[in-house]
Amino acid sequence: MAVDPPRASKASFPDGVGPLALGALGVVYGDIGTSPLYTIKTAIEWSGRDSGPPAALGMLSLIVWTLLIIVSLKYVAVIMRADNDGEGGILALMSLLGVQRGRRPVIIAMGMLGAALLFGDGAITPAISVLSALEGLEGPAPAITSYIAPLSIVVLIALFALQPLGTGRISRLFGPVMALWFLAIGATGLVAVIRHPAVLWALDPLVGLHYLAAHGLAGFLMLGAVFLCATGAEALYADMGHFGARPIRLAWYGLVFPALVLNYAGQTALLIDPATEHVANPFYALCPAALQVPLVVLATLATVIASQAIITGAYSMTRQAIQLGLLPRIRISQTSARSYGQIYVGFVNWSLMVLTITLTAAFRSSDKLAAAFGVAVSLTMLLTSGLMFVAMRDVWRWTLLSSMIVAGLFVCVDGAFVAANFVKFFEGGWIPIAVASALFFLMTCWSEGYLAMRAALERATYPIGEFVEKFRDRARVPGTAVYLAGRTDLVPVALLHNLTHNKVLHQRIVLLHVATLHRPRVRAKDRSVVVDLADGFHAFTAHYGFMEQPNVPHLLTQEGGDGALTFDLTDTSFFVGRTNVMPTGSSHWHRFKIHVFKVLYRNALPATEFFRIPAGRVVELGNQIEV
């Protein structure tokens, strides 16, 4: 019996909650941990440069309560309870809910849109993070201001160029570096708070509400900037399967949340001090002049780590989307033999690099890029809140009233942030919407086209039992023929074509169906099911989770269905169908979507390569169908 491949989970790190919490600092909290670099700076800009004491205290109050409601309550206390066999993230939640009471198109569409928005976020996060870190050089070296954007582009190019090498060796440093980062920003904030303890009045939520009520449109606009403090909260849920809920909660309450609150309070203390109220960049102003350059270096390392986590997350989400049938197959490389979660997806990497560098060159500052940042994240959070309402009802069996109260609170808060961010739609907010819309459209074309193609192929065949009976006495040729099949109860079209054109049947025929289940991983003992169909025919079903990558040769040679079948790859041929799709129907929109699917299907990674089947053992048989 083969064992499951190593997984990107708690087993990939040292045992114990403490080491796991340290690991979570480097993967989970990079994005939200670097938000103090630009949140208050952007809020001042969006509020019309009103940084007087009432505005500053109102700003801090809104930031603290945003962290409490969205991160501490919504994600850490509630949403992390909705795990799919230990895994989190919007696609895992969609997969969990999408199979409740049958296939649910609305749930699946919400998950697809949320995933598409997170891909857009994956391009913006590295740009805004690295820009905001290097902007700290403007204080000690004003002459370098015009070179901030080019320097950021150099850092970003280096980051993406190193991705094919994997991060196994240096990833162990991510946690300690981020721990140092949180200690540093917490300490600099604490010093300023001790000097101006009156800033703690902002912990009263009424201070923030009073600011919103008194400042009208300016307060509403600043709400969009305040939301930047919570960007990255989705990572707590998405990376739950890597570390577990307990270490993530320990890291949040034990270090991340206190450090963030102290730093935001420290920046606000500078704004209410008459001697420093007009500082251009309050984050770096907290630090003594002699230490600003080392802080810029630390900030750059922290933002690179945050960007690395976002990029790696995009790889993992791509694999999940492929396994769930939302995207065509593309080449995925394993960069570590020890950790299953360390993968590299070239197409995603270079696409993100082009988009990230384009955004950096176009906006050239974190303030201008912030408008594009909040839209994608706030919309994703709103979609997650909607899915959580379904989880409360269908998974946790909460009453309708309880579900409406809790989910309604989250929807109201998320909706307010979405509205505030959409005010900046034409100043950059349209970019993640455009990216997400394009990805959502491609996902829709692929999933609908693939289902239509499968249905057309099934109409062109008939039950396998009839086939076995019909050709029971047919002469056979030596060897084993494995036919990749969407279903094991129907004759694969490739088998019909092989018999029609080559007039032969192999001595042993195996219908191999690779099924992706709606759970992250499958235990080794549940991996395969073999059914003897009589007269040398066998149905072999291989089960994989949506976080796993199939390896068919390993499965056949090492497991062979618990000994029910044995395989010699040198005597085995794999037959696959290569389908040419022809759009039909009177609807121009349908025909256009099928044409898009046809392009995606033609350029998708062949099933044999995706399943790691040796190219020399593959026979392709073409056919044409109308969809």
Q: If you search the block for the tokens 């109409």, which residue do you land on?
A: 459
Tell me what pLDDT residue 554 has: 87
SS3 track for 536-598: CEEEEEEEECCCCCCCHHHHHHHHCCCCCCCCCHHHEEEEEEEEEEECCCCCHHHHHHHHHHH
- CA–CA dist 439, 431 (Å, integer): 12
User: What is the set of domains in the chain, with CATH numbers?
Assistant: 16-370 (1.20.1740), 460-626 (no CATH)
Max CA separation in the chain (angstroms): 97
Q: What percent of the chain has pLDDT over 70?
A: 93
> Does the structure show a pLDDT above 70 at 4?
no
Of 250-259, 420-429, 554-563, which range is least confident? 554-563
pLDDT, residue 263, reads 96
Q: State the Cα–Cα distance between residues 35 and 63, nearest whole angstrom.
A: 11
Which residues, 6+ apart, have CB-to-CB distance to 255 below 8 Å? 25, 179, 182, 183, 186
Cα four-point dihedral sign 443, 448, 451, 452: negative
Mean pLDDT, the chain, whole residue set? 86
Q: What is the pLDDT of residues 498-540, one digit of tens each?
A: 888 888 899 999 999 999 887 888 888 888 889 999 889 999 9
Residue scoring higher pLDDT (598 or 169)? 598
Q: What is the pTM of this model?
A: 0.84
What does the pLDDT average to over 602-622? 87
Helices 366-394, 39-46: axis angle to 10 degrees equals 110
Predicted local distance difference test score (pLDDT) of residue 99:
57
| Predicted confidence (pLDDT) at residue 610 exceeds the cutoff of 90 | no
pLDDT-derived band of residue 195, with 50, 70 and 90 as boundaries? very high
The pLDDT tens digits for 50-86 are 667 888 899 999 999 999 999 999 999 998 888 777 7
Instruction: Report the alpha-carbon distance of residue 186 to residue 557 in Å, rounded.
Output: 55
118-120-122-126 Cα dihedral, nearest 10 degrees: -140
Confidence of residue 218 (pLDDT cuts 50, 70, 90): confident
In sequence order, what are the residues at sequence separation of 6 or more whose Cβ sits closer than 8 angstroms to the Cβ of residue 87?
240, 241, 520, 547
Q: What is the SS3 assignment for 300-319?
A: HHHHHHHHHHHHHHHHHHHH
Residue 26 has a pLDDT of 84
Q: What is the pLDDT of residues 316-362, one digit of tens each?
A: 888 888 888 889 999 888 776 555 567 888 999 999 999 999 999 99
